[in-house]
Amino acid sequence: MVKFVKILAVSFAFALLMPTLGASKAMAQGKVAVLDAQAAILATDEAQKRLKALREKPDFKANQAELEKLKKEYNGLLEQVKKEIAVMSPEQKDAQGKKIEGKRGDIEHVVRKLQAAEQELGQSLMQDMGQKMQKAVADVIKSEGIGLLLDRRAALHADAAYNITPKVTDLLNKGGQ
C-alpha cells in the first residue's frame, strides 16, 4: 500500500511538472519499457538446463516422491474423517485432527526443502549471469531507444508491448551478443 501511495505521489508530481517540461523534450528522452530481470534469467536455456538437472538429482526426486506420498496420506485422512465424523467421539476427532495437522506439517517441511533448493539455484543463476544480464539490458536499451526502464513489478500496468523481458532473454540465450 505504501508503494502504491509513493507511485501515486510521483505520478501526480510528474503530471504537474509535465506542462513546464514541454512535450517534445519529454518525448526526446526515449521510450518507456518494463523488465522482469528474474523472469528473463529464469527463461534462458541455461536456467532451464540447470533446473532440469536439479530436478533429476536423487535428493530432489526423493523429496518430490515424499511430498506426493504425504499428500495422498493427508487426503486419505481427510476423506476418512469426512466419512466417520458423525460417529466419532470427541477424543477420536481430536486424535484425527492431530494426525491431520502432523501430515500438514510434514508436507510444509518437504515443500520448504524443495523451494529452498530451487531458490538456491535461482540465486546462483542470478549471480552467474549478472554481468551478461547487464550487457543484454544495455544492448536492448540502446537498440530500442529506451529512455526509462522500470522493474515490471513496480509498474501498476504495462501493456505487453512495453515488456522487453523476452528480448533480454533472447540476448542472454545468444550469449549476450
Q: What is the DSSP string of 92-153?
A: HHHHHHHHHHHHHHHHHHHHHHHHHHHHHHHHHHHHHHHHHHHHHHHHHHHHHTEEEEEEGG
The amino acid occupying position 143 is: S
DSSP SS3 for 34: strand
pLDDT one-digit tens code per residue, 121-157: 999 999 999 999 999 999 999 999 999 999 999 988 9
pTM of the model: 0.68
| For range 15-21, the mean pLDDT | 37
